[in-house]
A and B are shown apart, each in its own frame.
Chain A
Amino acid sequence: MLEKAGKEIELERDKAVAEIRNQTANLSVQIASKLIKKTLSPEDHKDIIEGSLKQLEAN
């Protein structure tokens, strides 16, 4: 009985941790997206595109 309860608690805790991790990850990415949108200059955009093209060339 106690053992079963302990397992369930552990399971619930794992779920909660995963959920928090998930939400933190999503939130971080949302914040990053907003910052990126705000701060990239046209020159930065060009550089990033150039980076993708270089990769394409290398493959």
Chain B
Amino acid sequence: MKHTVLAKRYARALFEIAREENILDTVEREIVSFEESLQNNAAFRLFLYSQDLSKKEKKEKLERVLQDRISNIFFNFLLVLLRKGRELIFESVATEFGRLVDRNNRKVRANTITAIDLDAASATRLKSVLDAAFNADIEIQNKVDDSILGGIIVTVDGQLLDGSIKSQLSRLATHLSAGRNGKS
């Protein structure tokens, strides 16, 4: 569990830096090929995951083999993992990184309805929740309609999520009128 949280954090950091530096594609390629090497090359795997080699030894070897062949960002990321003794989470980080890249590449529109105008903070929060829920880069078009009374209605990919007070009340009305109809 903790493993995953940690991997997510590392992946997110690597992703943000790569995106800022505009080398997301490069880092993605590097991370994929590094992961492939780990999976296909037993000697490499043994080396990286070895408990007997010191951090220094691993670092020196990685420097010798990789330093000039991969981006600084990915290389530094590997060094950070080594320094913290977290080589074992590399594969989880790679998986999570792939997910973030997919999300970034998938532009999806969401239509939302709220009873009041969303301020910047709420809009940002809404976007980050929707991004994660649909694993996509969500573009939000919000409409204000006070007849929904409160809460939010979201339509994404033909999927409707109705968290409005209006619909909660109408569920309540149905419930009340159904009651124990007639058979008292």
A contact residues vs B (CB 8 Å cutoff) = 14-15, 17-18, 21-22, 24-26, 28-29, 32-33, 36-37, 40, 42, 44-46, 48-53, 55-57, 59
Number of A-B contacts (CB under 8 A): 85
Contact pick for A46, options B122, B170, B183, CB 8 Å: B122
Q: Most chain-A CB neighbours within 10 Å: which of B116, B130, B133, B183? A: B116
Given contacts A29-B172, A29-B173, A57-B132, A45 and B115 within 8 Å (CB-CB): yes
| B169–A45 CB distance below 8 A | no
**Prevailing SS type, chain A contact patch:** helix
Across the interface, which residues of B come within 8 angstroms of A45, CB to CB? 114-116, 150
Given contacts A28-B176, A29-B172, 20 further A-B contacts (CB under 8 A): A21-B177, A21-B179, A26-B173, A29-B176, A32-B169, A33-B166, A36-B169, A40-B149, A40-B150, A48-B165, A49-B114, A49-B126, A52-B161, A52-B163, A53-B126, A55-B163, A56-B129, A57-B129, A57-B132, A59-B133
Across the interface, which residues of A come within 8 angstroms of B174, CB to CB? 25
Across the interface, which residues of A come within 8 angstroms of B146, CB to CB? 37
